[in-house]
């Protein structure tokens, strides 16, 4: 039972470099109509993937940024009581005050369900919400419908959106949740990949600085007993800091002289450890 008019297969978008394995998993999840759960360190392009799918399949992208305080209902719909109160007091809008439906606004999931065309629904950083939220949301996504209590109406999806869920957490999500998703873990980019990423961010960067900073970055990532390893974002900021310093020479990096370590390591025990490692190397 494959939905044939759901567009072609996913093969990667123009600006997103996709590995073959991941493309297969995306295609399989789309065919099975199951959400795809992506885990991986920050900076591995989990969110970018959803953008890339939307672009390459020419589907609109709807992003639900999960917040810790979020309730499921916020993601489904909102009943705008304040506007209704205002309208009933002043009555100068085109809305019909006696019709509650005029005051129902769709949340992100609601928008994905009511859209005329198939959409890509990105649920970003699901791990921020509590377990109940996660499980309840999967129920809604599974059944493809929800009720609007205020007007006693059921909203059911016309087309099943392509659902991509991301999680930064190392801890596992609940079993029922996992049972309804396909799963993939995106590994941290290797140095070659990182060169390409940095190249996109700093097209003008000279090769020496690129090589030396990337190799220093991977060396620092390998330090033991670090709580929060520096990720792509930290590297980009670090290179920015290095290029902004007029006194800095790329040669320093090769000698093990790494300035601005605080940009890479943001937790104080990590920073102390990195500092110690760097100093140790210089003495040797």
CA 113-117-122 angle, 5° bins: 55
- DSSP 8-state secondary structure symbol assigned to residue 111: H
Output 207 or 268, the one with its CB closest to other proteins.
268
Q: Which is nearer to other proteins, 191 or 262 (CB)?
A: 191
Residues forming the site for other proteins (CB under 8 A): 1-2, 17, 19-22, 24-25, 27-29, 31-32, 34, 36-37, 39, 170-172, 175, 178-179, 181-190, 192-193, 224-229, 269
Q: Which is nearer to other proteins, 16 or 248 (CB)?
A: 16
In this complex, which beta carbon is closest to other proteins, that of residue 155 or of residue 274? 274
Q: Which is nearer to other proteins, 44 or 213 (CB)?
A: 44
What's 101's DSSP letter?
Answer: G
What's the residue count for the chain? 284
The nearer residue to other proteins, 22 or 210, going by C-beta atoms, is: 22
The DSSP result for 8-68, as a single string, is ------SS----HHHHHHHHHHHHHT--EEEE--TTS-HHHHHHHHHHHHT--EEEEE--T
> Which are the contacts of 101, defined by CB distance < 8 A and separation ≥ 6?
151, 153
In the complex, least distance from residue 111 CB atom to other proteins, rounded to whole angstroms: 27
- The least distance separating other proteins from the CB of residue 32, rounded to whole angstroms, comes to 6
Q: Least distance (Å) from other proteins to the CB of residue 39? A: 6
Task: In angstroms, give the least distance from the CB of 29 to other proteins.
Answer: 7
CB of 118 to other proteins, least distance (A): 18
Q: Residues near 36 by Cβ (< 8 Å), separated by ≥ 6?
A: 25, 26, 29, 163, 164, 165, 181, 182, 183, 184
- What CA–CA distance (Å, rounded) separates 99 from 102? 6
Shortest Cβ 233–other proteins spacing (Å): 17
8 Å CB contact between 57 and 8: yes
């Amino acid at each position: 039972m494959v939905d044939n008019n759901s567009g072609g297969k996913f093969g990667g978008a123009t600006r997103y470099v996709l590995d073959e394995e991941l493309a297969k998993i995306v295609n399989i999840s789309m065919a099975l109509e199951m959400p795809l759960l992506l885990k991986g360190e920050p900076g591995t392009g989990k969110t970018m993937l959803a953008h890339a799918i939307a672009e390459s399949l020419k589907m609109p992208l709807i992003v639900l940024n999960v917040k810790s305080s979020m309730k499921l209902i916020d993601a489904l719909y909102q009943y705008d009581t304040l506007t209704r109160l205002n309208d009933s007091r002043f009555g100068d809008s085109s809305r019909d005050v006696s019709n509650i439906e005029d005051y129902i606004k769709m949340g992100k999931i609601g928008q994905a369900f009511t859209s005329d065309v198939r959409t890509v629904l990105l649920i970003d950083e699901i791990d921020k919400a509590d377990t109940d939220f996660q499980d309840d949301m999967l129920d809604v996504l599974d059944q493809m419908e929800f009720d609007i209590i205020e007007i006693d109406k059921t909203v059911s999806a016309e087309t099943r959106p392509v659902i991509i869920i991301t999680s930064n957490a190392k801890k596992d999500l609940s079993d029922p949740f996992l049972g309804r998703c396909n799963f993939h873990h995106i590994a941290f980019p290797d140095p070659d990949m990182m060169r390409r990423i940095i190249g996109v961010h700093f097209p003008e960067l000279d090769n020496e600085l690129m090589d030396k900073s990337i190799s220093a970055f991977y060396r620092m990532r390998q330090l033991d007993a670090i709580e929060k390893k520096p990720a792509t974002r930290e590297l980009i900021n670090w290179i920015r800091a290095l290029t902004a310093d007029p006194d800095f020479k790329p040669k320093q990096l090769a000698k093990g002289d790494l300035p601005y370590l605080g940009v890479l390591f943001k937790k104080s025990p990590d920073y102390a450890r990195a500092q110690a490692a760097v100093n140790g190397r210089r003495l040797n």
